[in-house]
Chains A and B, each alone.
Chain A
Amino acid sequence: AQSVTQPDIHITVSEGASLELRCNYSYGATPYLFWYVQSPGQGLQLLLKYFSGDTLVQGIKGFEAEFKRSQSSFNLRKPSVHWSDAAEYFCAVGADNAGNMLTFGGGTRLMVKP
């Protein structure tokens, strides 16, 4: 069975500082990997996705993530955080099989200090 671990439940960074959110997955085949962001009381917005090819993927809002097969990781990064980035971030793993079911991590809540 596939699983996703986001080790950090809460992270606080200063505005303008760099950010890295960790994601580790367990999956038997080549995974399809996603990062979503959720503002309070809202749905999830897709930040970026990895299906194949270049292991460094660029997303919206200046985010990027790197797929490292040897470490079973897909960490999310941003070089300079803005106050508007405060939200909850979810990593998910899935397969492009008939159901495309996703397994989500527990989320990381990001707080940004002025």
Chain B
Amino acid sequence: DGGITQSPKYLFRKEGQNVTLSCEQNLNHDAMYWYRQDPGQGLRLIYYSQIVNDFQKGDIAEGYSVSREKKESFPLTVTSAQKNPTAFYLCASRPGQKNQPQHFGDGTRLSIL
């Protein structure tokens, strides 16, 4: 089955630690995205990538980093510089053609210990 796999589903971080959230897709999609969702709020864009080895900052990139070394993979690192990392993180992807919507993974919930 084709889809977007985010792992782990739940993640706990100690203060001062970096953590990496995984996002893998086997849909052969060109573009990939990371969003953050806080309770009672909509999604906010962290980073996106339209092509391998290229990515751009979204609205709330501070304290986060990404890489896009393979088309299938777009990992997100939450660094210790992110002061309020507790949130639900969603990864999405879409084909490169016009008129195509984004498709979402099932998310990773990150909490601070």
Contact = CB atoms under 8 A, between A and B. Distances in A.
A9 to B, nearest CB: 7
Contact of A51 (B6, B33, B99): B99
Contacts of B107: 41-43
Contacts of A49: 101
A75 to B, nearest CB: 17
Contact of A90 (B43, B92, B103): B43
Given A51-B99, A100-B31, A106 B45 contact: no
Interface majority SS on B: helix, strand, loop or mixed? strand
A90 B40 CA distance: 11
Contacts of A96: 98-99
Contacts of A34: 101
B101 A46 contact: yes
Contact of B41 (A100, A101, A107): A107
A100 B42 contact: no
B71 interface: no
Interface of B: 4, 6, 31, 33, 40-45, 48, 50, 56, 58, 90, 92, 94, 98-107, 109
Given A101-B33, A101-B58, 13 more contacts: A43-B6, A44-B43, A45-B104, A46-B102, A51-B99, A96-B98, A99-B48, A101-B45, A102-B102, A104-B43, A104-B44, A106-B40, A106-B41
Interface of A: 4, 9, 32, 34, 36, 41-46, 49, 51, 90, 92, 96, 98-102, 104-107
4 nearest interchain CB pairs? A104-B42, A43-B104, A44-B104, A43-B106
